[in-house]
Copies of this chain bind each other. A is one copy, B any other.
Amino acid sequence: MLKLSTKGRYGVKAMFDLAQHMGEGPTSLKSIAERQGISEHYLEQLVSGLRKAGLVKSVRGAQGGYLLGREPDKIKIGDIIRVLEGPIAPTDCVSEEDPEICSKAEFCVTRAIWEKVRDSIADVLDSITLETMLEDAKKIESERNLYMYYI
């Protein structure tokens, strides 16, 4: 059903949480899990992948935790999704990574549709960065304060 699994959703939430706590030293998985309502052990698995991909850096030991691997404007949502859910591929024959070439590919009219779907998804996910999200959150916050003021 063109659904995202919890991996992708939790992963984006966790990364955004990290972005929101930049400059406060390492953020522990425990605190992320609590704030975002995610199982800590499960989150561990996801973050493990993100670390191997360089999207986060880890600090071990007490008071340790995680930091963003690079500046928030250099981390696209598409980067996160691809690490956690694999290449974007509405069907195997149009996967971003080694697609399964079928013999009729060049004449296949349905294939052309899935390619468009893939590209439209990738375009959205690659147009949004953690920085974008921080800006959006700030905007929503200020609009909310404005609303409170009028009450």
Q: Is the interface of A mostly helix, strand, loop or mixed?
A: helix
A77 cross-chain contacts in B, Cβ below 8 A: 113
Q: Does A13 reach chain B (CB closer than 8 Å)? A: yes
A interface, size bucket: 35 or more
Q: Does A3 reach chain B (CB closer than 8 Å)? A: yes
Among A4, A5, A77, A128, max chain B CB count under 10 A is at A4
Q: Does A86 reach chain B (CB closer than 8 Å)? A: yes
Within 8 A of B (CB), among A41-93: 77, 85-91
Q: Which A residues lie at the B interface, using CB under 8 A?
A: 1-5, 9, 12-13, 16, 77, 85-91, 106-107, 109-110, 112-114, 116-117, 120-121, 123-125, 128, 133, 136-137, 140-141, 144
